[in-house]
Amino acid sequence: MSRTRLPLAALSLASVSALALAGCSQSTDASKNTGDTVASASAATGKKPAPFSAGPVKVALVRQSGAGDYFEQWGNGAKAQAKALGIDLTVYDAQADNAKQATDLSSAINSGAKAIIIDHGFPATIQPEIDQAVKKGIKVVVYDVETPTKGVVSTEQDDASMAQAVLDVMSKDLGKNAKVGYVNVAGYAALDKRNTVWAKEVAAQAWKQQFKVGKVTDSTATDNVPLVSAALTQHSDVTGIFAPYDELAKGTVLAVQNKKLQGKVKVFGADVSNADIQQMTAADSPWVATAGTDPSAVGAAVVRTTALELAGQLNKSSVEFPAVAITQDFLRAKKIENMDQLRAALPALNLSQVSTADWISNVAH
């Protein structure tokens, strides 16, 4: 059975199947202000290759975005990079309607786009349209979507590195033989990959997993509070909980606080955004570590990857974006309150050297 990928940083992703809003948005506006600054483009020095040498290039972005500011930042980065490259970008967003995403993809195929970027989605729903686009000679670049179609360029966060980065902190904090809890959902490719790393770490650390709960909805954080609260009622002796998606982590944090266990139970999450930073640095927050990529930089890098593929210069079929660990102690010590400050303090988030060339004006942070 095909499984969807979650950014996870991306599910902020609230899931691809249960996203916050409904309807399709089409836009070429890259200037929307969300409180998250996109860096100015670095100047291109090389000569533009075809098809960019002939003027604006039409590209479609077909999305399944979710709740939280991760997707918004990702989209802003993609739009800003498209503008810097001279790409005429049309954005479609199905927002929870899988059938609509298939329709959006059909519309993109018939729009005259030279390339289509697919940002999340269920392979079972959109696979026929992916095959159709490739057969028509349209360049297809997917982000966090698993597809067997040859000729498609796959881009994604390195979910294994994301989970391992956080679990390295968790193992250091908790030590061996600790009683732990787990909040996750099966069936999403990114979460499944993180689960594989979790299973290995549990065995390596001889942790005693006391419970596993979790679900993805259109209100993932809120809907997981009662699940985690009930688990903590039965297992209040756990010392740490791993919730490898930021909306799951937010719900876990609220449950720990509701049970007044924030002095005893540490939460280890995944993904990073402005909202995540605010929750991690709040007084008495039990969320002590996460790992993630910069969503704005990732969105921009996916667009650059598409540009290189259009120019015949990519020369590979996949691009991964590595994650970095981010601790509560680091955020507080550096007085970091938002993604802009985090980028300045943690240069490892900068993807400016990923999928670039001298003819590309690069807006990665």
Query: Which tens digit of pLDDT belongs to each residue from 71-127?
Result: 888 999 999 999 999 999 999 999 878 999 999 999 999 999 999 999 999 888 999
pLDDT(271) > 80: yes
Residue 157 pairs in a beta bridge with 321
- Prior bond to 51 cis, omega within 30? yes
Question: How many other C-beta atoms can be found within 10 angstroms of the C-beta atom of residue 203?
Answer: 9
pLDDT(150) > 60: yes
Q: Residue 365 — pLDDT band, cuts 50, 70, 90?
A: low
Q: Kindly state the average pLDDT of the residues 341-365.
A: 87
Helix %, strand %, coil % of the chain (to 5): 40, 20, 40
Indicate the fold that domain 157-290 takes in CATH.
Answer: Rossmann fold (3.40.50)
Q: What is the pLDDT of residue 1?
A: 27
pLDDT(264) > 60: yes
Q: What percent of the chain has pLDDT over 90?
A: 73
Q: Which CATH architecture has domain 42-155+293-321?
A: 3-Layer(aba) Sandwich (3.40)
Q: What are phi and psi of 174, to 5 degrees?
A: -95, -30
Q: Kindly state the average pLDDT of the residues 24-28.
A: 30
Token pair belonging to 187: 């069936």
pLDDT(203) > 70: yes
- The arrangement of strands across the sheet holding 87-93 comes to 87-93, 57-63, 115-119, 139-143, 153-157, 318-321
Q: What is the pLDDT of residue 111?
A: 97
Cα–Cα distance measured from residue 249 to residue 225, given in angstroms and rounded to the nearest whole number: 10
CATH 3.40.50.2300 maps onto the chain at 42-155+293-321, 157-290
Cα–Cα distance measured from residue 118 to residue 120, given in angstroms and rounded to the nearest whole number: 6
Write the CB contacts of 221 (distance below 8 Å, at least 6 apart in sequence).
Answer: 247, 248, 250, 251, 254
pTM comes to 0.74
221 DSSP 8-state letter: H
Coil, strand or helix: which one is 243?
Answer: coil
- Alpha-carbon Rg for the chain, nearest whole angstrom, is 20
Cα–Cα distance measured from residue 223 to residue 63, given in angstroms and rounded to the nearest whole number: 24
Q: What are phi and psi of 116, to 5 degrees?
A: -130, 130
**287-292 and 324-327 beta bridge pairing:** antiparallel
Spatial contact of 339 and 272, defined as CB atoms under 8 Å apart: yes
Write the CB contacts of 3 (distance below 8 Å, at least 6 apart in sequence).
Answer: 123, 146, 187, 188, 189, 192
- Measure the CA angle with vertex 96, ends 244 and 219; round to 5°: 50
Token pair belonging to 361: 């004006």
Q: What is the pLDDT of residue 10?
A: 40
Q: Residue 295 — pLDDT band, cuts 50, 70, 90?
A: confident
Residue 330: alpha-carbon gap to chain centroid? 22
Side chain identity at residue 315, one-letter code:
N
